[in-house]
Chains A and B, each alone.
Chain A
Amino acid sequence: MKVGNQTIVFKNKPKIIGSYSVAGEKEGYGNFKEYFDYVLKDDKFGEKTFEKAERKIIEHTIFKAIDSANLTVADIDLLVSGDLLNQIISSSFTARHFDSTFIGLYGACSTMAESLAIGACMVDAKHFINVACATGSHFSTVERQYRYPLELGNQRPPVSQWTVTGAGCSILSLKGKSNIRISSATFGKVTDYGIKDANNMGAAMAPAAMRTIITHFEDTKSKPEDFDLILTGDLGKLGSEIFLDLMEHHGYKLGNNYNDCGQMIYNNNQKTFQGGSGAGCSAVVLNSYIFKKLQEGTFKKVLFAATGALLSPISSQQGESIPGICHAIVLERSDD
């Protein structure tokens, strides 16, 4: 049921019956090493190219998530997935291995929230029974598509973020056992505040996050204090500061219940400047740390708002500013 302008409240509250996360080697040394289901020992995952490795990581994650839900591949009737590569090859090539219908998404780093929001709509309306929502990214494929060759001896600017190698997948269904449910979703609007620096994606995405989260509060008549955690996707340290300033400017003062996946994933010694980014960033944090904390009961209600910078290398070279997007979902713990 749609409430307000952009929010859908789910009558049946789809359950997250399975999840899996695979993180890269560097991410394995970060803050969530004990939460990831699997940490890669080799960033190529035994493949010849990084593109093939990214594909294999996403594929592996989806298979394992299906296992964790005690289902078989044949039980999945819809796969919703996206990634950062041109023509979303990692997702669509992965879908070759699944005999399910497939919806390919491009929401940049917001893909995890976008896929869960779409998946939850499908499950809630009983159009599909079991839906797999997945995304992932790889540092080395993204570097060469958006930036420079890996071995080039250049310096990264202080505003930059480090693309996370990793993938996450969640299985949604109305059947099965789970105490994590999606209660509502707010689809975002493309927001562009005129930031042109492709390195400073946090600043480009912060207004989109602000807009979606405020809309969610207004649509559902909720307050920041209603949530144990308000989690943005990959704004990074600088982007999070900007986001908090923007929220305060609009009359919402967020307290200790706010955090950002990009800011949390790496530790301070890992020299990533503003933290993590990439579709895999929020995907691995959500499917490891957040779900485990919801299961344990540390968190009861989480607003997960993944953010994406919808730029391409060509648009940046042509001097265009960076449009941002943010989709949000509410995760609730319920004992059933």
Chain B
Amino acid sequence: MDVKERNKKYNEYVDAKVPKTKNFPTLIYAYLVGGVICMIGQGIQDILLALFPSLTLEDAGAWMLIILIFFASLLTGLGWYDRIGVFAGAGSIVPITGFSNSIASPAIEFKKEGIIFGLCVKMFSIAGPVIVNGVAISVLVGIVYLFL
């Protein structure tokens, strides 16, 4: 038998045999945990607005994000965020806390190779694509906005 054909057949056979992620429970867990993180964010914002009436809604939102990022990094450092992630999947990756985790976790991991070449270089190894795409798309949108 031809190698290409053999490999194609084998890949088809393996694909049929591979266990799939169960959609139903994972979606529910992701929805619940993601929802809880958003509720905590809303709660923080409401408390900030109640405590500091002079804050604008926008400023309170910014402070709320800073607080969430801080606590996600703290939980990463304590070794808890990855445990939430195993259970929640996208529920704890998509909110800003997941972004914080994706920067803090390589920073911890590569600290042993030194501050500059370890921590600083590797810190954005996972979050990097998000930042690059974010910046590139905002430039693109900015150009479109200029001509509108």
Q: Which residues of A contact B (CB under 8 A)?
A: 48-49, 144, 148-159, 192-195, 200, 203, 207, 238, 241-242, 245, 321
B7 touches A48 (CB 8 A): no
B62-70, B105-113, B136-144 - interface stretch: B105-113
User: Chain A's nearest CB lies how many Å from the CB of B88?
Assistant: 8
CB nearest neighbor in B for A274: B19
B8 touches A194 (CB 8 A): yes
| B79 neighbours in A (Cβ, 8 Å) | 151
Most chain B CB inside 10 Å of its own CB: which residue of A153, A203, A241: A153
CB nearest neighbor in A for B91: A153
| B88 neighbours in A (Cβ, 8 Å) | 153
User: Chain A's nearest CB lies how many Å from the CB of B90?
Assistant: 9
Instruction: Report the bound CA distance from A181 to B8 in whole Å.
Output: 41
B92 touches A153 (CB 8 A): yes
Q: Say which residue of A49, A149, A154, A195 sits within 8 Å of B14 (CB atoms).
A: A195
A144 touches B81 (CB 8 A): no
Q: Which residues of B (76-119) have their CB < 8 Å from a CB of A?
A: 76-77, 79, 81-82, 84-86, 88-89, 92-93, 98, 101-102, 104-106, 108-110, 112
- Interface code B6-18, partner A: CB below 8 Å = 1, 0 otherwise? 1110110110011
B82 touches A151 (CB 8 A): yes
Q: Which 6 pairs of residues, A with B, have the shortest CB-CB distance?
A: A153-B85, A194-B7, A149-B109, A151-B105, A149-B105, A152-B105
Most chain A CB inside 10 Å of its own CB: which residue of B17, B77, B84, B98: B17
B7 touches A158 (CB 8 A): no
- Total number of residue pairs linking A and B with CB closer than 8 Å: 85
- The contact sample of 10 A-B pairs, CB cut-off 8 A, is A144-B109, A144-B110, A153-B84, A153-B85, A154-B93, A158-B19, A158-B21, A192-B7, A200-B18, A207-B10
Instruction: Report the bound CA distance from A245 to B92 in whole Å.
Output: 39
| A195 neighbours in B (Cβ, 8 Å) | 10-11, 14
Instruction: Report the bound CA distance from A200 to B16 in whole Å.
Output: 13
Instruction: Report the bound CA distance from A150 to B82 in whole Å.
Output: 8
B109 touches A153 (CB 8 A): no
Interface of B is mostly: helix
B55 an interface residue at 8 Å Cβ cutoff? no
User: Chain B's nearest CB lies how many Å from the CB of A286?
Assistant: 27
Q: Which residues of B (1-32) have their CB < 8 Å from a CB of A?
A: 6-8, 10-11, 13-14, 17-21
B17 touches A153 (CB 8 A): no
Instruction: Report the bound CA distance from A202 to B112 in whole Å.
Output: 32
Known: A153-B84, A158-B21, A241-B17. 12 other contacts (CB 8 A): A48-B112, A151-B104, A151-B108, A152-B82, A152-B101, A153-B82, A153-B86, A154-B82, A154-B85, A155-B85, A194-B8, A203-B18
| B86 neighbours in A (Cβ, 8 Å) | 153, 155-156
Most chain A CB inside 10 Å of its own CB: which residue of B6, B79, B109: B109
Q: Say which residue of A149, A159, A207 sits within 8 Å of B18 (CB atoms).
A: A159
B39 an interface residue at 8 Å Cβ cutoff? no
With A151-B104, A151-B105, A194-B7 given, is the CB distance from A238 to B82 under 8 Å?
Answer: no
A153 touches B14 (CB 8 A): no
CB nearest neighbor in B for A194: B7
A150 touches B17 (CB 8 A): no
Instruction: Report the bound CA distance from A195 to B76 in whole Å.
Output: 34
Instruction: Report the bound CA distance from A153 to B17 in whole Å.
Output: 27
Instruction: Report the bound CA distance from A48 to B113 in whole Å.
Output: 12
| A194 neighbours in B (Cβ, 8 Å) | 7-8, 10-11
B126 an interface residue at 8 Å Cβ cutoff? yes
With A148-B126, A152-B102 given, is the CB distance from A238 to B109 under 8 Å?
Answer: no
Instruction: Report the bound CA distance from A152 to B86 in whole Å.
Output: 10
User: Chain B's nearest CB lies how many Å from the CB of A250?
Assistant: 13
| B7 neighbours in A (Cβ, 8 Å) | 192-194, 321
B126 touches A152 (CB 8 A): yes
A203 touches B14 (CB 8 A): yes
